[in-house]
Structure 1
Amino acid sequence: MPDSPMSASAYDVLGVQASATEVELKKAFRRALRETHPDTGGDPTKFAAVQDAWDRVGTPEKRRRYDAGSRTNTHSTTAGSSPFSSRPSTAAREDSRPRARTHGHPGGWRRERFLDSMREWVGRGVTLDDPYDPALVRSAPREIRRTLADALAEEATARTVSNLGIGYTIWHDVSTGPPERKLDHIVLGPTGLFAMLSEDFGGEVKVRRGELIGPAVAPEKPMHELAARAKSISRQLKVNFTCFVIVVPDDALAQPQISLGTVKGQPAVVVRQSVLAHLLRTGPELGRGRDIGGNELFDVRTRLTSGIRFVE
């Protein structure tokens, strides 16, 4: 069960309220095991989710830590911290290799939108001590949780691409008109120019007829929307994108990466977060990508640096 605002809580998976007693929690766990066990016709994925949920709240100590917001099996948070509040680390790195050039604030616009929405939702006059409190976030409307989930997804992508090396340049939160129609990332490197969105739809995504589908996928045609935004940058700055990429959580995609064919004349790919760096280093697999370098790379970088505007 990933640490995402869009994920079902451990209590949701077990089918109980967060206020359930220890006895009620154990009964719910046993019942859920019986209902989802593969040997009795249950769903193996749901069975694994039940076991994971119990591993998080199955003892008083684990439950206390879970309710306080920490995760005992994740490296992204420390004990007692909210899994939803972490930002890209600014701590000194042990790795001394040069990092990619980065511009803009990944996830910044959605972070601000989330905070504004949370304040409006709790109401005027109510003190919001910690807008990232896990219990508060889980109780918020889906639209608010989705905003935070996407901010976290953008920040995760930013951490990945920043480690690509000095040969890459990245722009985050790029304006293509209204803020909600931004490009989350533009990545320029030796394998080409990539327009990217980082999305957490809160569920599994599949591919059909060159587009992402799924019960939680919104907007309805995210890849075509990405292509339209990228094309506006192409027309404005006279650059050609090599590939359109949508990045999703690892558990949202059945394969490491799936080609969507071509969208508006360019290769389009949906990729797991964990294999994004490989895609950007090797390029798309549709035969349309080509290495760029020297004067061409310098010219494209100059045009983007001078012409890109960031969302406010």
Structure 2
Amino acid sequence: MFDSPLSASAYDVLGVAPDVDDDALRKAYRLRLRQTHPDTGGDAATFVQVQRAWELVGTADARAAYDRGHGFGSSAAPEWSDAAGSASDATSWRAPRAASRDTRPRARSHGHPGGWRRERYLDLMREWVGRGVPLEDPYDPALVRTAPHHLRRLLADALAEEATARIVADLGMGYTVWHDVMAEGRDAGSDDKIDHIVLGPSGLYGVLSEDFGGPVGVRRGEIVGDGVVGTPIADLVARVRGMGRAAGVRFRGAIVVLPDDDLDQAITELGKVRGVPVAVVARSALSTILRRGLTGARAMGGNEVFDARTRLQQRVRFA
């Protein structure tokens, strides 16, 4: 809930400044509990956030650990000094570490998940800090927290893509995945892309990995919420249809995957949008939906999977 670069901090949720003393912090927590409790007309999701925030900063040890990891307090380095946070301060925001040797069969993977957005984030972060100013650690929590929203959004989406890539890799050798695929008719380097294309026995799916920084809903076949910009589902469907036409393959559906805390239910199937079945799923449910397929989607035989993989390999370009 608080691990995304877009998420409000625990202090924001409790409505206090990060340097508030312990007594004031406790009073703020009790006030926010009363304000958000569902029995008194409060919002259930916000009530849970308040409780989670208190778990993170409600004791001296927990608060000290939270402050170190998120760039708060006297231990936080200046926003872009040479001493900006150590590698342990923001491990969840850094590029994924090389996985330890795993002998389990993995899905075939092509492309670099989150790579385009990581590179764009680093370029724009350097521009924002300013030419000639040392940028020792672009993932320092204090720096990320103060960055403009569009920079934090780039990093959040890169992290979302990397999280999805880890999940689909565990689907096994019967699956093939392409990451950061350019949409048809677009130039390399454009943000107009399909985050993941997943091919397996349950079908061929285009997947969008997103993090809007808070709870979202679905209305009239589209994702809605405070952090939602544009039409994510309509854009994904358009890209999937374009790739299908260009490669001569048939997609069985389009899937939008979001952080678990941002959805009321794990799997929401929306029916067809412009002829393409669509589902919005929580990250923890992604494996389930990719293994079973969307409702009504026909499973693919071995020869059909081989043909689709060959056609895609010939057509796919990476961002």
Q: TM-score normalized by structure 2?
A: 0.88
Moved more, 196-205 or 208-217: 208-217
Answering whether residue 96 of structure 2 is matched by residue 85 of structure 1, we say no
Structure 1 residue 79: Cα displacement: 9.5
Runs of at least 5 residues in structure 1 that lack an aligned partner in the other structure: 71-77
The corresponding residue for 2:311 is: 303
Secondary structure, aligned partner of 1:180: coil
Structure 1 residue 53: Cα displacement: 1.1
Structure 1 residue 281: Cα displacement: 0.5
Give the aligned residue type for 2:161: E
Structure 1, residues 9-53: CA drift from partner, whole Å, max 9, x if none?
011011122232334323322332332234544333322222211
Runs of at least 5 residues in structure 2 that lack an aligned partner in the other structure: 71-85
Change (3 A) 1:208 1:158: same
1:274 to 284, 303, 318: 284
Moved more, 45-54 or 25-34: 25-34
Change (3 A) 1:63 1:183: same
**CA separation in 2, counterparts of 1:88 and 1:290?**
35
Answering whether residue 224 of structure 2 is matched by residue 216 of structure 1, we say no
**CA separation in 2, counterparts of 1:212 and 1:38?**
25
**CA separation in 1, counterparts of 2:134 and 2:24?**
33
**CA separation in 1, counterparts of 2:34 and 2:308?**
59
**CA separation in 2, counterparts of 1:253 and 1:65?**
28
Answering whether residue 211 of structure 2 is matched by residue 200 of structure 1, we say yes
Following superposition of structure 1 onto structure 2, how do residues 77-156 of structure 1 map, counting pairs within 5 Å? 80-93=88-101, 96-156=103-163
For the 8 Å contact 1:67–1:134, the answer to whether it is kept is no
Change (3 A) 1:227 1:42: closer
**CA separation in 2, counterparts of 1:14 and 1:50?**
6
Give the aligned residue type for 2:164: T
Structure 1 residue 65: Cα displacement: 1.4
Structure 1, residues 176-198: CA drift from partner, whole Å, max 9, x if none?
11421110000000111001110
Answering whether residue 249 of structure 2 is matched by residue 239 of structure 1, we say yes
The corresponding residue for 1:166 is: 173
Give the aligned residue type for 1:67: D
2:164 to 145, 148, 157: 157
2:301 to 277, 281, 293: 293
The corresponding residue for 1:4 is: 4
Secondary structure, aligned partner of 1:47: helix
Change (3 A) 1:225 1:174: same
Structure 1, residues 215-240: CA drift from partner, whole Å, max 9, x if none?
22122x11110011112211221111
| Matched pairs, number | 301
Secondary structure, aligned partner of 2:93: coil
Secondary structure, aligned partner of 1:69: helix
**CA separation in 2, counterparts of 1:16 and 1:193?**
48
For the 8 Å contact 2:2–2:9, the answer to whether it is kept is no
Give the aligned residue type for 1:85: W
Structure 1 residue 89: Cα displacement: 4.4
Structure 1, residues 261-291: CA drift from partner, whole Å, max 9, x if none?
1112111111111000010100101x1x111
For the 8 Å contact 1:172–1:185, the answer to whether it is kept is yes
The corresponding residue for 1:73 is: none
**CA separation in 2, counterparts of 1:201 and 1:295?**
39
Secondary structure, aligned partner of 2:289: helix
**CA separation in 1, counterparts of 2:221 and 2:46?**
29
Give the aligned residue type for 2:36: T
Following superposition of structure 1 onto structure 2, how do residues 35-46 of structure 1 map, counting pairs within 5 Å? 35-46=35-46
For the 8 Å contact 1:68–1:80, the answer to whether it is kept is no
Give the aligned residue type for 1:188: L
Structure 1 residue 132: Cα displacement: 1.2
Q: What do you get for the CA RMSD once the two structures are aligned?
A: 2.1
For the 8 Å contact 1:9–1:138, the answer to whether it is kept is no
For the 8 Å contact 2:254–2:279, the answer to whether it is kept is yes
**CA separation in 2, counterparts of 1:168 and 1:15?**
46
For the 8 Å contact 1:65–1:79, the answer to whether it is kept is no
For the 8 Å contact 2:89–2:141, the answer to whether it is kept is no
**CA separation in 2, counterparts of 1:284 and 1:271?**
11
Q: TM-score normalized by structure 1?
A: 0.90
The corresponding residue for 1:69 is: 69
What fraction of aligned residue pairs are identical, expressed as a percent?
57
Change (3 A) 1:119 1:134: same
Secondary structure, aligned partner of 2:298: coil
1:253 to 231, 254, 263: 263
Structure 1, residues 55-108: CA drift from partner, whole Å, max 9, x if none?
2122333222112217xxxxxxx99431542444423245x3210000000001
**CA separation in 2, counterparts of 1:48 and 1:223?**
28
Give the aligned residue type for 2:122: L
